Amino acid sequence: MAVSSDQALDLDNLAARFDGPGVSAIALMGSHARGEAGPFSDIDLLRLVMGPDKPPGDGSHWIGERLVTVSTRIWQELETIFQEPEEACNYLLGLQTARILVDREGRFAAVQRRALAFRWDEAMQARANRCAAAALVGWIEEVHKGLEGLRRRDVGRLLHAAFGMSWGLSRVVMVQRGVLQASDNDIWRTLNEAVGPETRWARLRRAAFGLETDAAPPPPLEEQVRAGLALYGETVALMEDALPEPERGMILATVERIRLALGESRYAST
């Protein structure tokens, strides 16, 4: 079994293995950088380069009984983390907690200081509202797949809808609320904390994911989709005042279609 302790990692040799011409910085990211790694946690390395040509080595590697994943980004790409809400939610905490292994010009240290000083301001919130609205419009197709899947009892359509109405809507709320994630593993916990674990939104999300509750076993696929459709409406209710036009009209029309389709079911709005 792989050893989980960071002290057992030869980080200098690991960084040297993926260093090379054009690489100006290498950082350890993820659970190993945060000191939270377990025996099955992969080692995440981020390389930064100045130009468009990226050195070989990106992807997954099996090194010393460990899974090592390497990704390379151009320095200019990091600017999106400070400008785009979804990028900020996904990567800002990673920059804050990164462990710098190579930093030839001190650029990564400067970016990390900037990440630590970041504040989610009104301009970012306005962009988050637009991003969330666009995502809700994008998930309308999955709403229709769910409705048609229920009508036909079509597993393929229901599976598409179940994904969109669980993971997809979770990420919509993450962006609109500006909930920063250390990793995808945290999205369940952090969103429950942000919205409230006992809210109707949280209860519907649990059902949409098919998770067991104290009251009942995990719901079957059709029930997950019904819960997910209701979750779409509840997600809209969380942010309705922030939805811009023209997306607002399409989204509200979709919510009304869901309301009519659910009728008197247990997931109907109260």
- What CA–CA distance (Å, rounded) separates 138 from 148? 17
Q: Fill in the amino acid letter for 178.
A: G
Read off the pLDDT of each residue in 1-11 and give the average, rounded to a whole number.
53
Q: Residue 2: what pLDDT?
A: 34
* Higher-scoring residue by pLDDT: 185, 213: 185
Q: Distance between the two ends of the chain, CA-based, in angstroms?
A: 51
Read off the pLDDT of each residue in 145-160 and give the average, rounded to a whole number.
96
Q: Residue 183: what pLDDT?
A: 85
- What CA–CA distance (Å, rounded) separates 165 from 253? 17
Q: Residue 269: what pLDDT?
A: 65
Q: Is pLDDT at 215 greater than 70 in this prediction?
A: no
Q: Is pLDDT at 7 greater than 70 in this prediction?
A: no
Q: Residue 211: what pLDDT?
A: 87
The pLDDT > 70 percentage for the chain reads 92
Q: Residue 4: what pLDDT?
A: 40
Closest CA to 66 of 25, 8, 115, 112: 8
* Higher-scoring residue by pLDDT: 160, 184: 160
- Give whole-number Cα distances, 179 to 119, 125, 265, in Å: 12, 11, 32
What φ, ψ does residue 63 adopt, rounded to 5°?
Answer: -130, 120
The pLDDT > 90 percentage for the chain reads 85
Read off the pLDDT of each residue in 139-149 and give the average, rounded to a whole number.
97
Work out the mean pLDDT of the chain and round it to a whole number: 92
Pairing state of beta strands 23-29 and 99-103?
antiparallel
- Lowest average pLDDT, out of 89-93, 145-149, 216-220, 232-236, goes to 216-220
Q: Residue 247: what pLDDT?
A: 96
CB 35 within 8 A of CB 42: no
Read off the pLDDT of each residue in 264-269 and give the average, rounded to a whole number.
68
Read off the pLDDT of each residue in 205-231 and give the average, rounded to a whole number.
85
Q: Is pLDDT at 37 greater than 60 in this prediction?
A: yes
Q: Residue 90: what pLDDT?
A: 95
> Would you place residue 219 in the very low, low, confident or very high pLDDT band (cuts 50, 70, 90)?
confident
Q: 22: burial class by Cβ within 10 Å (0-12, 13-18, 19+)?
A: middle
CB 47 within 8 A of CB 55: yes
CB 60 within 8 A of CB 68: yes
Q: What is the pLDDT of residues 64-91, one digit of tens each?
A: 889 999 999 999 999 999 999 999 999 9
